[in-house]
Structure 1
């Protein structure tokens, strides 16, 4: 296998001079054409690799422009040596891939190979019977009232014991903090307590660096970088020789998995001594249900941390930016918070439809997972007529779908929570959801996100708790526009510096 990879790489680089000659020969005719077509230029052997490389830093925005320019919102990108990747923002195609022909579009060997070192056989990195088994086990645990109550307790404790006091100190000291970093710490503490029953205490006032959190960040970032490499053989060779980013990734993964296995062993020891665990975290639930294999427990819990760590913090980062930019939305949110403040916690969150709509609208424009890729395991034809060959990567793009005029209308660029709402005869708002294949922010079909309700609970509790007490003001220059970075999950480039002001009484 290594010899084949090495040979392919050598052949590629030996042909580069010829490829550049072809590029230069065709450049004159391309320059003379002044049309505004954004479709990539395609060459023999290498396909559109030059455009891919040129747009590595803004790949999701580049793909979005291409899909907006295509009548069916679907485009086949030609890569080196005849490989192809299909991108789509067409809801019919998304339904076809995620539901109607679900078995024809698994994660596939490419995705699994990229993330196997990190995720192993966790639920987000397996297909077929392994996935069905893990999904069944996980679904049972996620649908218990005791877990929901546990999540409420964890979130409220982190909110009132750590986040609110921190923001109060920042407000009184009139200092600037990176809200993106704070929200990531908040989410990491929460998901570790929910998944492991372990508190990494990332959101202490000193904002400490913790080895597990730092290693998890490195493992996530470096694993996703493999996807951004134009030639997969490059990261494979770096891994073989244990150099560069692959050496760093190996160290980070080792730290994550060693720590996770230590927690698993401690839980198993506790179970052996007590015969039953008092904890209700996910790891305890899996062990209590008889799933005692150390690697299985480690893999599945790491997957849950990955799913819950950056997704909610990414959504909330962009939410606070958008709310600041739209004071009329903030006014409606504050009105709703005041009206629901006397309700029990769960009922309060459940009934906050305007905040729910605002979060959905923020994730429409800035989805935490901007793209997701499947692998075609057989020849197929998508509903819009796009031909799919076996072995082709098929990527649906929630980021692009949130920017399609055909789906959202001519005002798609506007932040309007009201597009998710309707009023009844008494003038009360009610939430109107969208088809999950039009809005696949939480995936759709058999693999739809199990933690969706947990995520909304966490986000709505945080929004209500923070905005009830504080006004969040970006500490940026006039005219500043944040940059959306798309890795495995989304981030705001350079963080989100803010000042916090005490709001006082909502009256």
Structure 2
């Protein structure tokens, strides 16, 4: 059984690697899919300005991340189809998270309304995923039989013959596992990727906005860089460390350091033998290892005495970190993925890292160059992390927006 699960994990990862790691797909994502759905990001803000109302930009970020990831990964119009899916998915995620800290969950879920509804929510979520898989399986079969053409966002194909643009992940999953009736497993794999691709990116954008709204000087410097950037940015410009959005990317990295979308990680040794860690510690069979990117991002041993400060300048090589007495810090400036594990490290590193960085930079540029946002919560009050599988802002991120004088 363990070998079977290992095989399934490798197949899922291979499918994700094919879908999310090619330059052609990244280019298509940045040039076609993100701009195509830009109105999903902007329309709620425009409406709030027109009505002079407060809005929750975290919810706006959720909607945008949902529609762009829905098209890229599943070739599905999530703006139209996900209404019946989102609420049960969020409720089921919350109950699942609670199980990690409640050893009596089998009993308490029978007593409380949220627990009793859990089974219904899970059934609805799985049914939604199965519909996606069934639809894609039927489409691939029709393509192979010549009944319909293989579509792409721009009608093109990659050098390996793969479709560029729509439904990449689901197409690769079906390809890896065949087109039989194994819809339940494929649906579970789809939903796993959906959590990773939608929630984490939306929350990262929300936390980034939260930090810059609390730091007027950083917000002003970010606006200045974005105002000077070319009107038509290349996809490579969005994430280039030394490109036109150098400071923008430093702001994003700093926000990810302090607010990793997955604040706690858990790995279990599923083999029958002990596994040695880098420091010589042994993890026995069925034992688990927990670590927290949230805690590591605030570690003074890794980041220096100012680890708690939101400081984008720390990501520039010319800025040398120093102790309060003026002497150099002993830790290196450049961090490895093992010290900054927001996207994991090694063989389990995040396949969607580049996609996420592209989407975060694109969305942040579009918002900052168009709007001024004024927080509707006391600036001296820090926001907390909500209870979920990932790290949402508890209570959302309320702002009042207005158009900038200069665009």
Secondary structure in 2 aligned to 1:490?
coil
Q: 1:274 is matched with which residue: 143, 156, 168?
A: 143
Q: Is contact 1:370-1:486 (8 Å) kept?
A: no
Contact 1:485 1:493 in 2 (8 A): yes
Equivalent residues of 1:340, 1:348 under 8 A apart:
no
Render the CA deviation track for 1:259-295: whole Å, top value 9, x for unaligned.
2212222222223333253143121344456732423
1:412 aligns with 2:307: yes
Secondary structure of 2:350's counterpart equals coil
Partner of 2:95: 222
Q: TM-score, normalised by structure 2?
A: 0.82
Does residue 393 (structure 1) correspond to residue 263 (structure 2)? The answer is no
8 Å CA contact 1:357–1:420 kept in 2: the answer is yes
**Which whole-Å deviations, capped at 9, do the CAs of 1:274-330 have from their partners, x for residues lacking one?**
325314312134445673242343222111101012101111111111101112212
Distance 1:414 1:197 in 2: 41
> 2:56 matched to 1:155?
no
Q: Which residue of 1 aligns with 2:251?
A: 358
- How many aligned residue pairs are there? 367
> Quick one: structure 1 residues 283 and 385, their matched pair in 2 at CA, closer, same or farther if it must change by over 3 Å?
closer
* The 10-residue stretch of structure 1 (403-412 or 336-345) with the greater mean CA deviation from structure 2: 336-345
Q: CA, structure 1 residues 242+493, in 2 after alignment: closer, same or farther (shift >3 Å)?
A: closer
* SS of match in other structure, 2:255: helix
Name the residue aligned to 2:345: 444
In structure 1, the gaps of 5 or more residues are 1-107, 110-120, 203-207, 425-431
Confirm or deny that 1:487 pairs with 2:380: no
Give the 3-state SS of the residue equivalent to 1:422 in structure 2. Answer: coil
Provide closer, same or farther for how the CA distance between residues 448 and 237 of structure 1 changes in structure 2, counting only shifts above 3 A.
Answer: same
Checking the alignment, whether the CA contact within 8 Å between 2:343 and 2:349 is kept in structure 1 is yes
Q: Distance in 2 between matches of 1:413 and 1:489?
A: 21
- Residue in 2 that maps onto 1:34: none
Residue in structure 2 matched with residue 319 of structure 1 by the alignment: 208
| Contact map agreement 1:277 1:284 (CA 8 A) in 2 | no
Aligned partners of 1:355, 1:402: CA distance in 2, in Å? 19
| CA–CA separation in structure 2 for the residues paired with 1:332 and 1:224 | 38
What pairs with 1:319-338 in structure 2 (closer than 5 Å)?
319-338=208-227
User: CA–CA distance in 2 between the matches of 1:353 and 1:478?
Assistant: 27
Offset of residue 497 of structure 1: 1.0
| Larger Rg belongs to | 1
Give the stretch that moved more between structures: 473-482 or 217-226.
473-482
| Aligned residues of 2:58 and 2:396 also touching (Cα < 8 A) | yes
Aligned to 2:326: none
- Residue 344 of structure 1 is aligned with which of 233, 256, 267? 233
RMSD between aligned alpha carbons? 2.8
- 2:343 counterpart SS class: coil
Q: Is the 8 A contact 2:44 2:60 kept in 1?
A: no
Whole-Å Cα distance in 2 between the matches of residues 483 and 184 of structure 1?
Answer: 18
Cα distance in 2 for partners of 1:489, 1:171 equals: 30
Superposition pairs of residues 143-292 of structure 1, within 5 angstroms: 143-152=21-30, 153-159=32-38, 161-201=39-79, 210-229=83-102, 231=103, 234-237=104-107, 244-275=113-144, 277-279=150-152, 280-281=166-167, 282-287=169-174, 291-292=178-179
Whole-Å Cα distance in 1 between the matches of residues 237 and 138 of structure 2? 39
Post-superposition shift, 1:396? Answer: 0.8
Q: Which secondary structure state, in structure 1, belongs to the residue aligned with residue 79 of structure 2?
A: coil
Q: CA deviation at 1:478?
A: 5.3
TM-score by length of 1: 0.66
Q: For residue 171 of structure 1, report the CA deviation from its aligned partner.
A: 2.1
Aligned partner of 1:369 in structure 2 is: 262
CA deviation string 1:422-450 (max 9, x = no partner): 359xxxxxxx8520110101111111100
1:421 to 310, 313, 316: 316
C-alpha separation in 2, matches of 1:324 and 1:150: 31
The match for 2:297 is: 402
Question: Hey, what's the Cα distance between the residues in 2 that align with 1:236 and 1:167?
Answer: 42
CA distance in 2, matches of 1:391, 1:274: 44
The runs of 5 or more residues in structure 2 that have no matched partner are 153-165, 320-332
Partner SS for 1:311 = helix
Q: CA deviation at 1:227?
A: 0.9
- After TM superposition, the structure 1 stretch with the greater mean CA deviation from structure 2, 289-298 or 326-335, is 289-298
1:474 maps to which residue?
A: 375
CA deviation digits over 1:20-49, x for unaligned, max 9? xxxxxxxxxxxxxxxxxxxxxxxxxxxxxx
**Helix, strand or coil: the match of 1:410?**
coil
